[in-house]
Amino acid sequence: MKHWMIALVVAALALPGMAFAGQKATTIDELAQMFDASRCKACHGEIYRQWETSHHARPLMGVHGGLKDTPLAMAGATPWSPEHPSEATLETFPCFKCHLPQALTHAEDSVAAEYAQALLDQDRRKIGQLKITCIVCHNHRAIIHRLQEGEPEPNVLYGTRDIPNHPDPVFTEIRQSPVMKEPLYCGQCHGVGVNLEFGNPVQCATLYGSYQHAYIPAGGTQSCQDCHLYPKKDGFADHRMLPDWNDTELMSQRLAESLSLNMQAMGYEWLRAGGDRPNRLVIETKIDSKAGHRIPDG
């Protein structure tokens, strides 16, 4: 029996609730289960391992596990903070728009209330289950022009080409996504500027705005995918999507490569009648960036 056939049988036995049966999750466990992609590992092992190390696999954990949303759960700490965690709703966490978009379509307010309590308890195990999984990217966020292309279909994953028979028990077909190779695809979460639609505007990532307004007008030609998913690693689009802010050493090494600093200095000394004229130093600096946008972002 081929590896993937064994995996198929195992996956079918262990299958979580049908991901998109139309119901909404009322608990964090249910929401995590709906988008759980651990069965993809059996057949896409290398990509899975890459993704597992990426920020997309820990979008609510914060750098070095700092649980960045904690102030939003603390009474009085931010304009969104509820008096009591049980009063938290999806609206009191505007961060979900990009950090956990599936919550907005597939969760009840009770999930936000449970999340607020988990933040106060600093319950990293519970919060760590909520991820931007394979299913979020290859189904939920894979179609952007929905009026034209329709909603993503419940049994279809979207990728780079059509595959009519995909051996996954839920997602039995792969269709070519019209947008996954475009910068806009990443841009839907990586921010164009201030998010003005909220009761209080929120600004977090604005990197896609910088790409569109600075890099492209200056003649830039590469896409996010060109720089972050290629060259392919181990034969696949690189799902580590570096950089990784938790890996400080790798981070400094990459920044040293992508930001070059050229500095020239010249000193002036007044030889005669110096008197009250101070000596001078002329410094010329030139910083070059290989990125397709500002760094750091935000």
Task: Restricting to residues 79-118, name those near ligand HEC by CB under 6 A.
Answer: 94-95, 97-99, 101
In the chain, DSSP assigns E strands to 156-159, 173-176, 259-268, 280-289
Stretch that binds ligand HEC, among 25-33, 84-92, 158-166, 260-268 (CB under 6 A): 158-166
| Contacting residue, 232, 265, 267, 287, with ligand HEC by CB under 6 A | 232
Q: What is the DSSP string of 223-264?
A: -HHHHHT-S-BTTB--TT-S--TT-HHHHHHHHHHHEEEEEE
Say whether residue 68 binds ligand HEC (CB under 6 A). Answer: yes
Task: Write the binding mask 32 to 61 for ligand HEC: x where contact by CB under 6 A, - elsewhere.
Answer: -----x-xx-xxx--xx--x---xx-xx--
Stretch that binds ligand HEC, among 20-28, 110-118, 186-194, 269-277 (CB under 6 A): 186-194
Q: Least Å distance between CB 30 and ligand HEC?
A: 17
Cα 172 to Cα 157: distance, rounded to the nearest angstrom = 8
Q: Least Å distance between CB 267 and ligand HEC?
A: 34
Say whether residue 207 binds ligand HEC (CB under 6 A). Answer: yes
Q: What's the Rg (C-alpha) of the chain? A: 24
Say whether residue 243 binds ligand HEC (CB under 6 A). Answer: yes
133 close to 37: Cβ distance less than 8 angstroms: yes
Say whether residue 130 binds ligand HEC (CB under 6 A). Answer: no
CB atoms within 10 A of CB 201: 11
| Contacting residue, 109, 123, 173, 297, with ligand HEC by CB under 6 A | 297
| Contacting residue, 28, 73, 130, 174, with ligand HEC by CB under 6 A | 174
Cα 238 to Cα 229: distance, rounded to the nearest angstrom = 4
Say whether residue 124 binds ligand HEC (CB under 6 A). Answer: no
Q: Least Å distance between CB 244 and ligand HEC?
A: 7
Nearest to 176 by CA among 214, 203, 138: 138
Say whether residue 24 binds ligand HEC (CB under 6 A). Answer: no
- CA 51, chain centre distance (Å): 11
CB atoms within 10 A of CB 117: 17
What are the tokens at 246? Answer: 């938790």
| Contacting residue, 75, 236, 252, 268, with ligand HEC by CB under 6 A | 236
